[in-house]
């Protein structure tokens, strides 16, 4: 007699196997993945961190303020794309996900796996910015040694924010809307996310300073600034307060995940 079937163990095995599948597939295209994630930050770092300060169009410390923004943006976008694109295609017509949906685990775990794997992708993409920044910016490169644990937490949380947004987008967007939605969502996200400027510096444009607070990327960028920008003249660099940052990012993850799971279920079980 075979031992009785343990559902929880079966579901966990299925979950691990699905995660393993994503590792194998991404491992095979790791170089293209890195190129896709890093091309844009590479040039941003070079132009904004090296060229503009070099010709006197930006302050010399601009690089150290922008680097955290680039880390946040890269991680969030890489996580988001890693979830959204495959999901739109799969739910739209490819249906390659069917095999996983027919595995003996709750349907929403399949979405959870996508989110966790997207988070891993985002965190890896973010992490690669550090050696890249060190190489391009030279002395302009800085992190705060006393806040390394916060930094690690922020990198992961930022990627998680990206992958949960990716889940909701991936389940809402239809394949023929992909390019339009990317323009409509990415471009505003990119420029209102305090990536290239610290939030505190916006005080002269009050309406914009308030507007950017609706973009989760603002909090991610500020959180990374909190853990990276070195103190100047004995003072910590002013950022949004860490508790607010954590509250905003946590709320975003919760909201996007719950909504994403709901639409995911609606798309796969009708």
Partner 1 sequence: METTAIAVNNLVKRYPKSKSAAVDGVSFSVSRGEIFGLLGPNGAGKTTNIGVLTTAIVPTEGSATIMGIDVAADPIEVKRRIAVVPQQSNLDRSLKCREILTFHAAYHGVPRKQREALADKLLDELGLGDRKNEKMKAYSGGMVQRVMIARALMHEPDVLFLDEPTNNLDPQSRLFLWERIQELNAKGLTILLTTHDMDEADQLCHRIAVMDHGKILVNDTPTELKKMIPGGTALEVRASASDDLCNTITAALNAMPGATKVDRVTAANEDFPTWRVYAEAANTLIGPAAQAVLNSGAEVRDLSVKQPSLEEVFIFLTGRHLR
Residue numbers at the binding site for partner 1 (CB under 8 A) = 5, 7, 9-11, 13-14, 17-18, 20-21, 24-25, 28, 94-96, 98-107, 268-270
Nearer to partner 1, 103 or 127 (CB): 103
Give the angle subtended at the CA of 239 by the CAs of 65 and 182, to the nearest 5°: 65
Measured from the Cβ of residue 197, the count of other Cβ atoms closer than 10 Å reads 16
For 155, how many CA atoms within 13 A lie in the half-sphere containing its CB?
23
Are 89 and 175 within 8 A, CB to CB? Answer: yes
Q: What's the min distance (Å) between Cβ of 260 and partner 1? A: 19
Nearer to partner 1, 146 or 266 (CB): 266
Q: What's the min distance (Å) between Cβ of 180 and partner 1? A: 24
For 185, how many CA atoms within 13 A lie in the half-sphere containing its CB?
20
Nearer to partner 1, 35 or 94 (CB): 94
User: For 229, phi and psi rounded to 5 degrees?
Assistant: -70, 125
Q: What's the min distance (Å) between Cβ of 249 and partner 1? A: 31
End-to-end CA, the chain: 37
Nearer to partner 1, 10 or 60 (CB): 10
| Local structure of residue 5 (DSSP, 8 states) | P
Measured from the Cβ of residue 196, the count of other Cβ atoms closer than 10 Å reads 17
Nearer to partner 1, 82 or 223 (CB): 82
Q: What's the min distance (Å) between Cβ of 78 and partner 1? A: 18
Q: What's the min distance (Å) between Cβ of 228 and partner 1? A: 36
């Amino acid at each position: 007699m075979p031992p009785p079937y343990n559902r929880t163990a079966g579901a966990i095995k299925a979950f691990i196997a699905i995660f393993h599948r994503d590792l194998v597939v991404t491992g095979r295209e790791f170089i293209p993945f890195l190129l896709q994630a890093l091309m844009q930050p590479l040039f941003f770092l070079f132009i904004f961190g090296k060229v503009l300060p070099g010709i006197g169009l930006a302050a010399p410390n601009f690089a150290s303020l922008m680097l955290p923004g680039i880390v946040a943006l890269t991680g969030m976008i890489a996580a988001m794309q890693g979830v959204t694109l495959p999901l739109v295609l799969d739910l739209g017509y490819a249906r390659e996900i069917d095999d996983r949906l027919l595995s003996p685990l709750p349907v929403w775990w399949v979405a959870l796996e996508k989110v966790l794997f997207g988070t891993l992708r985002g965190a890896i993409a973010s992490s690669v910015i550090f050696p890249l920044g060190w190489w391009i910016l030279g002395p302009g490169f800085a992190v705060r040694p006393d806040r390394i644990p916060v930094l690690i937490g922020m990198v992961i949380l930022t990627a998680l924010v990206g992958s949960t947004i990716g889940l909701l987008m991936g389940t809402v967007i239809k394949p023929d809307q992909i390019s339009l939605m990317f323009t409509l969502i990415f471009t505003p996200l990119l420029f209102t996310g305090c990536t290239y400027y610290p939030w505190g510096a916006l005080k002269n444009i009050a309406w914009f300073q308030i507007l950017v607070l609706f973009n989760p990327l603002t909090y991610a960028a500020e959180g990374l600034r909190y853990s990276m920008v070195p103190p100047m003249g004995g003072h910590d660099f002013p950022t949004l307060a860490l508790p607010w940052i954590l509250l905003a990012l946590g709320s975003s993850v919760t909201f996007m995940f719950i909504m994403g799971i709901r639409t995911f279920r609606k798309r796969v079980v009708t």
